[in-house]
Amino acid sequence: MRRRRTILSLPGLIILAFLLAGLGLALWLQGGLAFSPGALSDKRQTGVALGGFASHAEFERECRRCHLPLESLQAELCIECHTTVADQIRASAGLHARLQNVAACRVCHSDHRGRSFDPGQDALDDFDHSLTSFSLIWHQVDYSMAPLGCTSCHLEDEAYSVSLLTCSGCHGGHDREFMVRHLQEFGEACLDCHDGIDRMTDFDHNTTSFPLLGKHLEARCAACHQGGNFETVSASCESCHQEPPVHLGVFPQDCAACHNPQAWQPALLEGSPFEHARQTGFSLERHRKDFAGDGMSCAACHLEDIRQIDLSTCIICHADEDAAFMEDHLSRFGESCLECHDGVDCMHDFDHSLFPLEGRHAEIDCAACHIDRVFAGTPRECVNCHAEPEIHAGFFGLQCQLCHTTSAWFPARLRDHRFPLDHGGQGEVACQTCHPTVYAEYTCYGCHEHEPGKVENEHREEGISMNELQQCAACHPTGKEDEAEGGD
């Protein structure tokens, strides 16, 4: 059986052509809306308009803004409005620059899913945060153990920016005192130092060009890295340690030649610890400031060479303060200042108690005993200054203090003579009567005509030995015979 062909008549073809033309016109007028799989998102941000639109829904009838098949990639059309993303891609910086499939925007951000659909949130559901420079290993929950959501840290803007106020607010709520100090020391750019792991916890400063040794280990980071500056901090000493006024202009700027991180003081001079008092014998205790109260530098005394001192600087300085005193001082002691002065000063609290300056001794000049400014080893015996008088030369000995005092050399007096000087009842007897040879020895035989043998026998009967026999005053302190027998 032959199949019958159906042939449209001319009027039918004209009607079909009109139908097709009308359909094409409708599709053109609707911008492809007839093929739309659903309504576009009306998600918007207050005050934000991209490409002149606040949301995708506003250009829903203009399909060509996002779809130009065979003419342009869809991603290129996206970034015409989303210029911030375009800037990230061009600068190879930011989140979108880290995405391998950055040209496939629709993989992360779909649409046509209704007015309330959020394309941004859609991307976050499967977002890999490890693509960012901040790990969430320590930011899963807050201090109260409540889960942290994306908006806990991020603003709901196009770039999903991090609000650093949330960092300081959250951490400040946990430890306000620490956070206030931390912000003062390092500023508010939290992400410059912190990556969430945190990258500073195991940071070893010794791997840098400036190892932390000695006292530098005790310094707070902010002492050198002010305002959170870690990239351009100078490693030179003078950037932290101002040159001390005491040696300003005397030493070169090479601080490390004398100082080290173990301690700023004592400084090293030619490799050995330098302490002015120990190395030079002259303390700076009373030479920190001049008479005007201004600080004294090394150059005040060491005019040209730090290893040399011109004593004329001592004389000039002190003469400017008191010319009359200095003139008298120089005439009495000369210009060798360091022979007497050590800066403390060695004479200002000198204790002369080894030889008390009492009586007339308190009135004499130092140079009277310390001839030629010799102080150490000056003898203390009277005879060194007072020649033995001829009247008792060779007789009384050299224990002058037994008869003389510092109040006056004359008149002399016997200071310790327990035996009565009027022994015998005829007034004071002459010294030579009992002390015929020397003052330190005496005899009773000069007046008492004893027979030695008889005296010895009598005393032996009393149990007195021959050695004791010669010490008459020991038994007869007042010269009375009955004293030895216990009488009055």
Reported confidence tier of residue 17, pLDDT bands at 50, 70, 90: low
Question: Does the pLDDT value for residue 320 go beyond 90?
Answer: yes
pLDDT of residue 342: 87
Query: In angstroms, rounded to a whole number, what is the distance separating the alpha carbons of residues 203 and 195?
Result: 13
Of 261, 253, 321, 263, which Cα lies nearest the Cα of 291? 321
Average pLDDT over residues 5-34: 61
Do the beta carbons of residue 253 and residue 242 sit within 8 Å? Answer: no
Q: Which amino acid does the sequence have at 91?
A: A
Distance of CA 60 to the CA centre of its chain: 68
Do the beta carbons of residue 287 and residue 343 sit within 8 Å? Answer: yes
User: Cα torsion for 387, 390, 392, 393, to the nearest 10°?
Assistant: 70
pLDDT of residue 321: 92
Question: Does the pLDDT value for residue 2 go beyond 60?
Answer: no
Tell whether pTM > 0.85: no
Average pLDDT over residues 375-393: 81
- Reduce the secondary structure of the chain to three states and give it as a string: CCCCCCCCCHHHHHHHHHHHHHHHHHHHHHCCHHHCCCCCCCCCCCCCCECCECCHHHHCCCHHHCCCCCCCCHHHHHHHHCHHHHHHHHHCCCCHHHCCCCCCHHHHCCCCCCCCCCHHHHHHCCCCHHHCCCCCCCCCECCCCCECCHHHCECCCCCCCECHHHHHHHHHHHCHHHHHHHHHHHCCCHHHCCCCCCCCCCCCHHHCCCCCCHHHHHCCHHHHCHHHCCCCCCCCHHHCCCCCHHHCCCCCCCHHHCCECCECCCEEECCEEECHHHHHCCCCCCCCECCCCCECCHHHCCCCCCCCCCCHHHHHHHHHHCHHHHHHHHHHHCCCHHHCCCCCCCCCCCCHHHCCCCHHHHHCCHHHHCHHHCCCCCCCCHHHCCCCCHHHCCCCCCCHHHCCCCCCCCCCCCCCCCCCCCCCCCCCCCHHHHCCCCCCCCCCCCCCCCCHHHHHHHHHHCCCCHHHHCCHHHHCCCCCHHHHHCCC
Question: Does the pLDDT value for residue 424 go beyond 80?
Answer: no
Query: In angstroms, rounded to a whole number, what is the distance separating the alpha carbons of residues 148 and 136?
Result: 10
Cβ atoms within 10 Å of 105's Cβ, excluding its own:
24
Residues contacting 393, CB < 8 A, separation 6+: none
Q: Could you read off the pLDDT of 79-131 as tens digits, one per residue? A: 888 888 899 888 888 778 888 788 888 888 888 889 989 887 777 777 888 87
Question: Does the pLDDT value for residue 488 go beyond 50?
Answer: no
Do the beta carbons of residue 438 and residue 397 sit within 8 Å? Answer: yes
Q: Could you read off the pLDDT of 50-61 as tens digits, one per residue? A: 888 999 988 888
Label the pairing between strands 272-274 and 267-269: antiparallel
Reported confidence tier of residue 238, pLDDT bands at 50, 70, 90: confident
pLDDT of residue 172: 93
Mean pLDDT lowest among 16-20, 63-67, 167-171, 452-456: 16-20
Q: Is 366 exposed, middle or buried (0-12, 13-18, 19+ CB in 10 A)?
A: middle
Distance of CA 404 to the CA centre of its chain: 62
pLDDT of residue 316: 92
Residues contacting 102, CB < 8 A, separation 6+: 75, 89, 96
Question: Does the pLDDT value for residue 436 go beyond 50?
Answer: yes
Of 352, 366, 342, 351, which Cα lies nearest the Cα of 286? 342
- 122-126, 185-189, 410-414 — most confident range: 185-189
Query: In angstroms, rounded to a whole number, what is the distance separating the alpha carbons of residues 406 and 398?
Result: 15
pLDDT of residue 487: 43
How many residues can be counted in the chain?
488
pLDDT of residue 18: 64
Average pLDDT over residues 284-310: 83
Reported confidence tier of residue 146, pLDDT bands at 50, 70, 90: very high
pLDDT of residue 304: 77
